[in-house]
Amino acid sequence: MTDQNLFTPYTLGALTLANRIVLAPLTRNRAGAGFVPSEFAATYYSQRAGAGLLISEATQISQQGQGYQDTPGVYTQAQIDGWRKVTDAVHAQGAKIFVQLWHVGRVSHVDLQENGAAPVAPSALRAATQVFVNNRFEEASQPRALDINELPGIVADFRQAAANAIAAGFDGVEIHGANGYLLDQFLKDSANVRTDAYGGSIENRARLLLEVTAAVIDEIGAERTGVRLSPVSPANGVSSSDPQAQFDYLVEQLDALGVVYLHMVEGATGGPRDVAPFDFAALRQRFKNTYIANNGYDLDLATSRLAEDQADLIAFGRPFIGNPDLVERLKTGATLSAFNPATLYGGGAAGYIDYPTLVESNASAG
């Protein structure tokens, strides 16, 4: 048992975090023209800057990497400038912020791709999932398999996006290797039936994620580079026949690269923590830097996992939507407010920046 708790400061690489609470990435589909962060984004993130570390909504590294309408990018100057407003607002509140970099791979739709092109994937296997496009949820489009000669371009896009993120004022980046998106598609053999150097063995299936991570580290440094993984989550229709072996190996390689943190989705993304047998403690033991635990955490579970040294930081997602002052509510034992599911995806300020803090709620009630 340790005497650490959610509200003690924490050292993450060269950064000092005010506490051990992390704002998990939350896609809200509110980017403006040119996939620039919403005009309300700086307010949204600064409202939630009570967390020691904020991780932005998933942010595409290229147009090809986009899978849902109105999600922001970090590949144009206008997008970089838009994100600078967010990072300045968060830093003014004393918090740190990483951007989550993603390429969705096959979890996309032709209407989001340049010239209506097919989405790309490890293999030409359609994702059994829906994407938010044309203001509704539609089935993901049939993808095409990436040629091996295209993969260096994917790596280069991640590298450039990391450089752009630092130019936008982010403290670091999180590589999205989870939830059935491109890098996770390569990891999971239900989505990857390649027979070249990027398919087959656990080493080959991990190759692209490791190449991306090495390139990002080379660009911005390991102390600014985190990775998100979801070993057993069935999100977006992926599965692995050998998750323990796959992720034991992968985490050992990421540890050798020196990434500053692993952000682990424990169980099914947004669902049961016990969706499949898996030894997350084995990953924790293989990794010397910071372990961020995610999925279904409340105050009691977070407190016990920290006390047992099973995690260093705890990420909270949906509770932050209706509770911009979640940290204060957890600290004081206050009741948490519910969010409006109708305003989760798309729209403007309503259901985004208008949830009251505890102080505001008490003032209006009094």
Q: How confident is the model at residue 2 (pLDDT cuts 50, 70, 90)?
A: very low
Is the pLDDT at 149 greater than 90? The verdict is: yes
Asked if residue 5 is part of any domain, the answer here is no
Q: Which positions are annotated as active-site residues? A: 181
Give me the domain span that covers residue 79.
10-365
Mean pLDDT of 167-193: 98
Mean confidence (pLDDT) of the chain? 96
Residue 323: both structure tokens together = 């509770």
Q: How many CB atoms lie within 10 A of CB 318?
A: 15
Closest by alpha carbon to 330, among 291, 302, 363? Answer: 302
For the purposes of burial, counting CB atoms within 10 Å of the CB of 167, is it exposed (0-12), middle (13-18) or buried (19 or more)?
A: middle
Dihedral over Cα of 246, 249, 250, 251: its sign: positive
Instruction: Please state, in angstroms and as integers, the Cα–Cα distance from residue 197 to each residue in 151, 203, 207, following that order.
Output: 11, 9, 8
Residue 282: both structure tokens together = 């084995």
pLDDT of residue 274: 86
Rounded to an integer, what is the distance from CA 270 to the centroid of its chain? 13
Asked if residue 171 is part of any domain, the answer here is yes
Closest by alpha carbon to 361, among 321, 332, 325, 327? Answer: 325
**Cα–Cα dist 30/353, whole Å:** 12
Determine the Cα angle at 260 with ends 58 and 66, to 5°: 15
Is the pLDDT at 327 greater than 60? The verdict is: yes
Per-residue pLDDT reduced to its tens digit, 88-144: 999 999 999 999 999 999 999 999 999 999 999 999 999 999 999 999 999 999 999
Bridge partner residues of 264 (DSSP): 229, 293
Closest by alpha carbon to 71, among 16, 23, 61? Answer: 61
Tell me the Cα Rg of the chain.
19
Is the pLDDT at 362 greater than 90? The verdict is: no
Is the pLDDT at 62 greater than 70? The verdict is: yes
Asked if residue 4 is part of any domain, the answer here is no
pLDDT of residue 1: 38
- Terminal Cα distance for the chain, rounded: 42
Q: For the chain, what is the domain count?
A: 1
pLDDT of residue 361: 79
Q: How confident is the model at residue 366 (pLDDT cuts 50, 70, 90)?
A: low
Question: Residue holding tokens 């239900």?
Answer: 190
E strand segments, 245-307: 261-265, 290-294
**Cα–Cα dist 11/18, whole Å:** 9
Asked if residue 88 is part of any domain, the answer here is yes
The pairing of beta strand 120-121 with beta strand 96-102: unpaired
Asked if residue 3 is part of any domain, the answer here is no
CATH number at residue 15: 3.20.20.70
Amino acid letter, residue 116:
G
pLDDT of residue 191: 98
Asked if residue 136 is part of any domain, the answer here is yes
**Cα–Cα dist 296/275, whole Å:** 12
Is the pLDDT at 42 greater than 90? The verdict is: yes
pLDDT of residue 349: 96
Residue 113: both structure tokens together = 């791709």
Q: How confident is the model at residue 325 (pLDDT cuts 50, 70, 90)?
A: very high
**Cα–Cα dist 257/77, whole Å:** 30
**Cα–Cα dist 190/86, whole Å:** 38
Closest by alpha carbon to 102, among 15, 203, 211, 209? Answer: 209
pLDDT of residue 340: 96
Per-residue pLDDT reduced to its tens digit, 237-286: 999 999 999 999 999 999 999 999 999 999 888 888 988 899 999 999 99
Asked if residue 241 is part of any domain, the answer here is yes
Q: How confident is the model at residue 365 (pLDDT cuts 50, 70, 90)?
A: low
Question: Residue holding tokens 């990027």?
Answer: 198
The pairing of beta strand 172-177 with beta strand 261-265: unpaired
Q: Are 70 and 30 in contact (CB under 8 A)?
A: yes
Asked if residue 268 is part of any domain, the answer here is yes
pLDDT of residue 336: 95
- Work out the percent of the chain whose per-residue pLDDT is above 90: 93
pLDDT of residue 3: 52
Is the pLDDT at 10 greater than 60? The verdict is: yes
More confident residue, 275 or 293: 293
Dihedral over Cα of 309, 310, 313, 315: its sign: negative
**Cα–Cα dist 366/363, whole Å:** 5
